[in-house]
A and B are shown apart, each in its own frame.
Chain A
């Protein structure tokens, strides 16, 4: 049982503010992913939770107890690092039990947990090898074993899969997922990989420039991004963003793309605004590539468009097609079997029930 609370946490390195008033509450058993581009402060936040960096201002609480001045070893946490950080001179066995030995735990208990967890991670055949004799995947397993035998209250992961090749990364991701399922321990996981974040997290905290931009379930983050940054950062290919103005005529509200000759209006009647913009306000319309697709009669709110493909990329199970759309390049994810040619117009539709509207000046969702 462990909860974590971060209250108004700030941190500077010299004159650079790395974290600005971070607030985060992690419930027991949650899998929180801190997601953001490099330099956004996510690793610093994790290091501060671990106790490896000092706190400038604010508080970190584990189980309602302020741990600001508690040494890392006494916080009952374990951490897995990107570079594995195994001790090169020790065998796998000694790497795994190093932490237990420091805690003066009885030999029988050490032996028992070593057996249990090395079997679980399938490293029981490697116990007498040195880290240099292991492959990247095996090293990461050992690093996980080192964290697991400690049976901590909170697991911290600092981009643990970034050094692995693509196939192994997926494999290890599944294992971490299963691990969380079976242990039920609170986990905090730092990554810049949105696929990892989406597939592992119970909640994602998207960070940028020392601020948590949005925190929510993967679905919320993906469907209802609360800022242009989050919308653009999550999803591949990236969300389509179109600049334009808000227009209102009686009960009809609509979006007018910026660069257009014919009088195109996109109806926003089905969009529920958080706060309705003013007439003529500059706004940005966003929709994900999968919502630009072949016309579908089952949808009740869609807009028909005729577009000329400017680039066609086959990804295997679908086609990612780029179009020119009123001065913006937009992407659609189309079924792979359809026949399309460069420069030849095709009838498509935009699903208007899945759009997001952002204010241009504040870049926030409205």
Chain B
């Protein structure tokens, strides 16, 4: 009897081990397929940007370049030197975008934190209604505010300027940043604020000395979110700016659409890649905090 049971247990053990290995491999294969699927366009972009136009015309979309040439990257970044109308290149617009994204992210993140703090730690009558209005702001479609916003910018005298775009993105981003910080701060015990009040700290002192130093996880999430959205925005950029004041996404569009005579796929691809580098960098540098911050508050630390 005993040996029989032993045999049986061993069989069960072996078959469950086999199953485990099978599912593991299945998982890897499925994940691998998805990774390839999502990486394929990037691959095509990069190899195309490194080919000459001649090679692009002859060859296959997926083949590697015969010779790696960075000319198209240089063209995309700083142009060919001529000053004809069709010669659009990214460098000035890259700086435009940077000048827009840095203040817009900083201001919207700061005020989001301040709002979240006030909404959770200094409760007042109707605070929930105000929070609801903020939430509502997250769901307003971009297109709906184009007209009123352009009138506002005109009234303020900052239409077609970087500062105008900073304002638009700050205002539009506030709903999201407030939501993020509010959800983070609600998990921080009120007693900490009470202790600080008894210690003699006021509204701003508590905010800067007690809360800001522990807000890194959610600040990272907010910065990534805002940076990606503002950097990649095309609609606001194209609606509220043109010519020299345009951000990079608008310039990229102009570049691709206004090239004279032939389409230079290699330059277009290089330009598209350059326009995407900053967001990629932000994700790579801060990505691991992103997931951590998104789930913050759900589990008691």
Contacts of A86 in B (CB 8 A): 192, 195
Q: Is the CB of A103 within 8 A of B200?
A: yes
Give, as a whole number of angstroms, the nearest-CB distance from A131 to chain B.
10
- Cα A150 to Cα B199 in complex, Å, equals 9
* Interface membership of B198, Cβ < 8 A: yes
Known contacts A99-B200, A102-B200, A88 near B205 by CB under 8 Å: no
* Interface membership of A136, Cβ < 8 A: no
Interface size on A, residues (CB 8 A): 27
Contacting B at CB under 8 A, from A43-97, are 47, 50-52, 71-73, 77-79, 81-83, 85-90
Chain A proximity mask over B281-298: 1 for CB below 8 Å, otherwise 0: 000000000000000000
Contacting A at CB under 8 A, from B173-192, are 189, 191-192
Q: Is the CB of B210 within 8 A of A99?
A: no
- Cα A351 to Cα B189 in complex, Å, equals 49
- Cα A102 to Cα B198 in complex, Å, equals 10
Give, as a whole number of angstroms, the nearest-CB distance from B194 to chain A.
5
In this complex, the member of A71, A102, A103 whose beta carbon has the largest number of chain B beta carbons within 10 angstroms is: A102
Q: Is the CB of A87 within 8 A of B198?
A: no
* Interface membership of A146, Cβ < 8 A: yes
- Cα A144 to Cα B213 in complex, Å, equals 23
Chain B proximity mask over A133-150: 1 for CB below 8 Å, otherwise 0: 000000000010010001
* Interface membership of A98, Cβ < 8 A: yes
Contacts of B199 in A (CB 8 A): 73, 98-99, 102, 146, 150
Q: Is the CB of B201 within 8 A of A77?
A: no
Interface size on B, residues (CB 8 A): 16
Known contacts A87-B210, A89-B210, A102-B205, A72 near B197 by CB under 8 Å: yes
Chain A proximity mask over B95-128: 1 for CB below 8 Å, otherwise 0: 0000000000000000000000000000000000
Which listed residue, A77, A88, A89, touches B198 by the CB 8 Å rule? A77
Which listed residue, A79, A99, A143, A146, touches B194 by the CB 8 Å rule? A79
In this complex, the member of B191, B199, B201, B214 whose beta carbon has the largest number of chain A beta carbons within 10 angstroms is: B199
Q: Is the CB of B214 within 8 A of A89?
A: yes
- Cα A181 to Cα B86 in complex, Å, equals 87
Known contacts A99-B200, A103-B200, A146 near B213 by CB under 8 Å: no
- Cα A50 to Cα B213 in complex, Å, equals 26
- Cα A83 to Cα B192 in complex, Å, equals 8
- Cα A99 to Cα B210 in complex, Å, equals 12
Give, as a whole number of angstroms, the nearest-CB distance from B115 to chain A.
21
Known contacts A87-B210, A89-B210, A89-B214, A102 near B194 by CB under 8 Å: no
- Cα A150 to Cα B196 in complex, Å, equals 13
Known contacts A82-B191, A83-B189, A83-B191, A72 near B213 by CB under 8 Å: no
In the complex, the chain A residue whose C-beta lies closest to that of B201 is A102
Q: Is the CB of B198 within 8 A of A78?
A: yes
Contacts of A77 in B (CB 8 A): 198
In the complex, the chain B residue whose C-beta lies closest to that of A132 is B301
Give, as a whole number of angstroms, the nearest-CB distance from A141 to chain B.
15
Contacts of B197 in A (CB 8 A): 52, 71-73
Give, as a whole number of angstroms, the nearest-CB distance from B188 to chain A.
9
- Cα A3 to Cα B205 in complex, Å, equals 31
Contacts of B189 in A (CB 8 A): 83, 85
Contacts of A52 in B (CB 8 A): 194, 197-198
- Cα A176 to Cα B209 in complex, Å, equals 30
Contacts of B209 in A (CB 8 A): 87, 98
Contacts of B198 in A (CB 8 A): 50-52, 72-73, 77-79, 99
- Cα A83 to Cα B191 in complex, Å, equals 7
In this complex, the member of B191, B195, B200, B210 whose beta carbon has the largest number of chain A beta carbons within 10 angstroms is: B195
B residues within 8 Å of A by Cβ?
Answer: 189, 191-192, 194-201, 205, 209-210, 213-214
If A82-B191, A87-B195, A99-B199 are given as contacts, then 9 extra A-B residue pairs at C-beta distance below 8 Å, sorted by A number, are: A47-B194, A50-B198, A73-B197, A78-B198, A85-B195, A86-B192, A86-B195, A87-B213, A88-B214
25 contacts between A and B (CB under 8 A): A47-B194, A51-B198, A52-B197, A71-B197, A72-B197, A72-B198, A73-B201, A79-B195, A81-B191, A81-B194, A81-B195, A82-B191, A83-B191, A83-B192, A87-B210, A88-B213, A89-B210, A89-B214, A98-B196, A98-B209, A99-B200, A102-B200, A102-B201, A146-B195, A146-B199
A residues within 8 Å of B by Cβ?
Answer: 47, 50-52, 71-73, 77-79, 81-83, 85-90, 98-99, 102-103, 143, 146, 150, 158
